[in-house]
Chain A
Amino acid sequence: AQSVTQLDSQVPVFEEAPVELRCNYSSSVSVYLFWYVQYPNQGLQLLLKYLSGSTLVESINGFEAEFNKSQTSFHLRKPSVHISDTAEYFCAAYSGNTPLVFGKGTRLSVIA
């Protein structure tokens, strides 16, 4: 069965600094990968996804993630964070007929 590991439960970072949120998945068989973001008091919303093709995918607000099959990773990165990026970020994976599986989440706190 698919599993998703987010190694960091909390990541504090200063404004305008780079950030990487780590995600590893267990099964590489036809895996599709997602990052969802949950801003305070809001529902989860899709940030970006990898289905096929280019291994580097980008979001509209400057985040990017790279699918690395050999390392079974899908880390999320941003070169310069803003206060408004403060949120909880969830990595998720889907493969075959199993339901979408989420990691435990990483709370990103951007410090002014």
Chain B
Amino acid sequence: EAGVVQSPRYKIIEKKQPVAFWCNPISGHNTLYWYLQNLGQGPELLIRYENEEAVDDSQLPKDRFSAERLKGVDSTLKIQPAELGDSAVYLCASSIGTSGTGELFFGEGSRLTVL
């Protein structure tokens, strides 16, 4: 069974440019998460989807970040415009159901470098 797939793995852009990350969760997983991982830090939740509904986006900087999961399957996270401080790894994860006690399955992450 395929795991969580993310692309691109690496992205280098200049500041003020837009960037988008894509995530395809494990088939059948209705909950999808986007996490931000800064260097030397643990993952921090940006947004959580249950099917196509964003149920927790309180930590998403909405002035420049946006996300969508239109059909309740794959998802896109966009940053426009990117700033130097956005350099980090963007992790996608999925899980069965909505209980916080369930296991999260993570992708390999998308590493963003903003110059």
Contact = CB atoms under 8 A, between A and B. Distances in A.
Contacts, number: 54
Given A43-B107, A44-B91, A100-B45, A9 B100 contact: no
B40 A104 contact: yes
B43 A102 contact: yes
Interface residues of B, number: 21
Give the interface size class of chain A: 20 to 34
Contacts of B101: 32, 49, 51, 94
Interface in B58-95: 91, 93
Given A43-B3, A49-B103, A51-B101, A102 B44 contact: yes
A45 B3 CA distance: 11
Contact of A104 (B3, B41, B104, B107): B41
Interface string B24-57: 0000000000000000111111001000000010
Interface of A: 4, 6, 9, 32, 36, 41-46, 49, 51, 90, 92, 94-95, 97-100, 102-105
